[in-house]
Copies of this chain bind each other. A is one copy, B any other.
Amino acid sequence: MFMFNKLHRTAEELIRHSGGRVTVGRIRILSVLLAEQQAITHREIEQRLPQTLQLDRVTLYRALEWLADKNLIHKVTSDDRAWRYHANRELHTHQHAHFKCTRCAQMICLDDLPIERSWPLPAGYRFQEIELTVKGLCADCS
């Protein structure tokens, strides 16, 4: 992966800037997510980490939680009971939709789908955020 060094430096920068401790694990995890177009699962992140840096499952979960707290990544709900994670680019720090392929389970962000900020809700209900997943077949599967 020829982009690796650049991503690695970007990741380190972002983490340092967020005021937490800069650890190898966090850097590598964020690098993986920055290199990825799709939103990927915990397991997929594990598989993409170098052999030389196999983190404990719990550590990975906690690092992901921390990165999400710091708004460097975001979590996406799916129908298969597994969170998927994706690095926050400036483009989609705001609310955006996701697409999930019903055959291969690939999940991408649909950045150009602006979602309205509020919805008509029953009286007394208060809007916070929206989660929108479009399902169908991706280019490879259709």
**A interface residues (Cβ-Cβ under 8 A, vs B):** 77-79, 81, 97, 99, 102, 108, 110, 112-113, 119-139, 142
The number of times this chain is found in the oligomer is: 2
Q: Are B128 and A135 in contact (CB under 8 A)?
A: yes
Contact of A124 among B128, B134, B139 (CB under 8 A): B139
Q: Are B133 and A126 in contact (CB under 8 A)?
A: no
Q: Are A125 and B136 in contact (CB under 8 A)?
A: yes
Known A78-B77, A113-B120; judge A137-B128 contact (CB<8 A): yes
Which of chain B's residues have a CB closer than 8 A to the CB of A81?
81
Q: List 14 A-B contacts (CB under 8 A).
A: A102-B128, A113-B120, A121-B136, A122-B139, A123-B139, A125-B137, A126-B137, A127-B134, A128-B137, A129-B136, A130-B134, A130-B135, A131-B131, A132-B132
Q: How far is the CB of A44 from chain B (nearest CB, A)?
A: 17
Q: Are B126 and A136 in contact (CB under 8 A)?
A: yes
